[in-house]
Structure 1
């Protein structure tokens, strides 16, 4: 029996609380179509243990964007992202599924479960920072909210390009008036320094590289594509929003683009 029909299904506890009916439907569809080991972890430690014991089975995560990020981060830290494709059945509040939607994952429990069974793996890029955290979509400095994700991306490649297109949008007039002192280096090339305040910085992974945009205070933009981007801030540090999660403050952080680092199962 192929790995695609031997599953380990990790059901996030938040998904069970928010929408138990969708969880039940997803479980029934997966169990009907494959030999599935269902895991009900009660917290992050149990989740990590269940993931570590997956063996050669395809991993299916039932949960929201945070559950997917947790899974990819754990596998990245263990250097096991190349051990097989991941699938996601998105269950959660609408505003917690923007990343899944932008990646092209079906939003319905039945459609997503069927895609997990019969879909095709797609190699995707990601960003990894120097603390072993991953970014699957985009990050922004300062920690402002991301633009709404498209409702129905044409494909995973179109979704990746939509992230990059979102970066080149000019900041809102109010945000543009705020000064942020940041030193931005792309593969050692200086794009901005602490003596030149900027409105913000955006980074996303596409085409195997980190696509960085430095937004000037008066609307100008400096762009670069690099393998690694290092950003340093003032003494108090800076905060950033990565995949809708706010992190920091940190004084300096480096993000490295990893081309085709993970595989996501999407509808064939």
Structure 2
């Protein structure tokens, strides 16, 4: 048959090569229904080069949240988010939180079939004041510290490594004095320390930890979770409750919603790290994120709930 569709496939070199069984399985499904070009970019510039030559083809990302982040970032800054149409994701990372939140299959063949048969889901973006983006969740404080802890053990434990990293970081830290402003209203003045500030378009981090369980992609606003669980027992309990999203019911946790969020350290001693879609940056004194409503789209299974 003559394929009527054409895909540019970006395969994450860190997640596997063209010989990897999962990659091969996904590509076999894609090639059965479309013309496919596979590119394995080694960095941001090679991603941009590949996307400049997408020529109207839909893009399929074989990788995790970081790979999707890099692809969408390049499309945004190249002005090609509309030109390439919906992005499809075959989740081959460790956490795959964006894919989980969208109801995408974790099986590579089933996910590749969604690229062929799925429907576009409007997706919001967060744009920060340094030009960076967030496609799923960004968090400051103990969550960012937990990522470093999880890196040491995730090879052996997979997504469970994040939970253990969160427990370890939660027990050891005393929090950060941060001023948080949402839509020009100060919602935390920084006089009391915060354990974690989370800004979510999607709901989970760290391979399924439901940090922002109420978030819905594509609704045009970000959900913000402020956790002030800074006592020794409270820190440990918060870290354990985070996995299932049960922390939201705690008295020392507050949730707000908005389209512009600023987090500021009250002084140099409270400079903080941020984790955006699994990538850690900082320490920094300030960062602002603004929602770009329905800036891109992602293919999801037909019949999936809107904003899943």
Give the TM interval when normalised to the shorter protein. 0.7 to 0.9
Moved more, 63-72 or 221-230: 221-230
Q: Counterpart in 2 of 1:250? A: 284
- Distance in 1, Cα, partners of 2:120 & 2:4: 10
Give the superposition deviation at 1:72.
1.0
Counterparts of 1:261 and 1:246 in 2: how far apart (Å)?
Answer: 23
Query: Number of aligned pairs?
Result: 240
Aligned twin of 1:179? 175
Distance in 2 (CA, whole Å) between partners of 1:137 and 1:249 is 21
1:86 aligned partner: 87
Partner of 1:32: 32
Is contact 1:141–1:240 with CA below 8 Å preserved after alignment? Answer: yes
* Structure 1 counterpart of 2:268, from 221, 230, 235: 235
1:143 positional shift: 4.3
Secondary structure of the 1:62 match is strand
User: In the aligned structure 2, how far is the partner of 1:113 from the partner of 1:216?
Assistant: 41
- Match of residue 123 from structure 1: 122
Question: In the TM superposition, what are the counterparts of 1:140-219 in structure 2 within 5 Å?
Answer: 140-144=139-143, 145=146, 174=170, 178-205=174-201, 206=216, 207-217=219-229, 219=251
Q: Name the one with the larger strand percent.
A: 1
CA contact (8 A) 1:9 1:39 kept: yes
Aligned to 1:153: none
Gaps of at least 5 residues in structure 2 are 148-166, 202-215, 231-250, 303-308
Distance 1:235 1:259 in 2: 33
- Unpaired runs of 5+ residues, structure 1, are 147-170
| TM-score, length-scaled by structure 1 | 0.80
C-alpha RMSD over aligned residues: 2.7
How big is each residue's C-alpha offset from its partner over 1:40-62, in whole Å with a ceiling of 9 and x where there is no partner?
A: 33443222211121011111111
Inter-partner Cα distance in structure 1 for 2:124 and 2:141: 23
Q: What pairs with 1:59-138 in structure 2 (closer than 5 Å)? A: 59-83=59-83, 84-92=85-93, 95-138=94-137
> Contact 1:4–1:57 at 8 Å: present in 2 too?
no
